Amino acid sequence: MSTRGASARPDAGDFLVEARDVELAFGQTPALQGADLAVASGEIVAIMGPSGSGKSTLLHCLAGILVPDAGEVLFDGRRVDRMGESERSLLRRDRFGFVFQFGQLVPELTAEENVALPLLLGGARRAAALAEARAWFGQLGLAGMEGRRSGELSGGQAQRVALARALVARPAVLFADEPTGSLDSLTGENVMELLVTAARDQGTTVVIVTHEPRVAACADREVFVRDGKVTSVTAGRIAS
Ligand code: ADP
């Protein structure tokens, strides 16, 4: 693992994605209680922490899926928390890619149609979108799977299709929430290697929630969430 710094803010320079003192409660349940995280462009950050500590909520705030009750969320210097739903939805479609744990492929579509989906939603022509989608299958070890539907793919294959779909539109940021959580450890490691390699190739910034240390070890930096706040570690040492 390479680390760039001991704090939740790695450099004094510009950050692509930032949460500043973010608070969010679900009814009476506080999920985030002053969370700070700043991710540099091109950086791969793993968010670790116990179940229920606020990891997914933080990811959803950074990705413009949830709007915090207080604090600021920034993408490329823009206040995501101040955007309306339609502006956030466009931001997610045009600049972000997503990989979740389960159930993310559209079962009625073939694997290549699933991968092409973000391009089609972005207005690309069908033939061009499918050609671009197909180009991912070889590099992700999925050659021959283009025409299969999700029910005809193994868990690891389906996650690789989901990964291709998340990256095909060359997003600025890839948000991944337990992307290997439903896979056995060897398959999960393989998916993570592909994720990291593909992200580095295209300079994509990655924010990944995981409870698996081996997955987190692939990142440039690991941060820990506890009780809705972010702390950081370097080489196994916890610093608040
Ligand atoms: P983690 O990802 O670390 O497991 P979460 O961000 O999912 O944690 O959850 C943080 C806290 O918020 C937990 O107490 C959880 O039960 C609560 N929570 C998360 N999502 C919801 C929701 N949609 N409705 C109510 N409570 C929620």
Number of CB atoms found within 10 A of residue 85's CB: 9
229 close to ligand 1 (CB < 6 Angstrom) = no
Give, using CA atoms, the residue closest to atom 13 of ligand 1: 52
Q: Which atom of ligand 1 is nearest to the CA of 177?
A: 2
- pLDDT values of the chain reduced to their tens digit, one per residue, 240 residues: 444 444 454 444 579 999 999 999 999 999 999 999 999 999 999 999 999 999 999 999 999 999 999 999 999 999 999 999 999 999 999 999 999 887 589 999 999 999 999 999 889 999 999 999 999 999 888 999 999 999 999 988 999 999 999 999 999 999 999 888 888 888 888 888 888 988 999 999 999 999 888 888 889 999 999 999 998 755 443 444
Locate 37 and state its tokens: 């995280």
Which residues touch 217 (CB under 8 Å, ≥6 apart)? 1
- Measured CA distances, 142 to 18, 98, 148, 163, 189 (Å): 34, 19, 10, 12, 16
Provide the pLDDT for residue 233: 59
Give, using CA atoms, the residue closest to atom 6 of ligand 1: 54
Provide the pLDDT for residue 4: 44
Note the residue count of the chain.
240
188 close to ligand 1 (CB < 6 Angstrom) = no
Provide the pLDDT for residue 78: 96
pTM of the model: 0.90
Number of CB atoms found within 10 A of residue 213's CB: 12
**Domains, the chain, ordered by start:** 15-233 (3.40.50.300)
Give, using CA atoms, the residue closest to atom 22 of ligand 1: 26
Element (H, E) at 114: helix 111-121
Report the SS3 class of residue 60.
helix
The number of C-alpha atoms within 13 Å of 233 and in the hemisphere containing its C-beta is: 18
Provide the pLDDT for residue 13: 55
Q: Which atom of ligand 1 is nearest to the CA of 57?
A: 6
DSSP state at residue 82: G
Q: Helix (H) and strand (E) counts for the chain?
A: 7, 11
86 close to ligand 1 (CB < 6 Angstrom) = no
CA distance 94 to 96: 6
In angstroms, what is the span from residue 54 Cα to ligand 1's centroid? 6
Structure-token match 């809705």, residue found: 228
Determine the residue of 23, 33, 48, 56 to mutate for testing ligand 1's pocket, defined as the one with the most ligand atoms within 8 A of the Cβ atom. Answer: 56
Chain centre distance of CA 5: 21
The amino acid sitting at 40 is A
CA distance 101 to 46: 15
31 close to ligand 1 (CB < 6 Angstrom) = yes
Strands (E), 76-220: 78-79, 96-99, 173-177, 205-209
Q: Which atom of ligand 1 is nearest to the CA of 225?
A: 3
Locate 212 and state its tokens: 């698996």
Give, using CA atoms, the residue closest to atom 16 of ligand 1: 52
Give, using CA atoms, the residue closest to atom 25 of ligand 1: 26
Q: b vs e for 48-66, b when ≥16 Cβ sit within 10 Å of the residue's Cβ?
A: bbeeebbbbbbbbbbbbbb
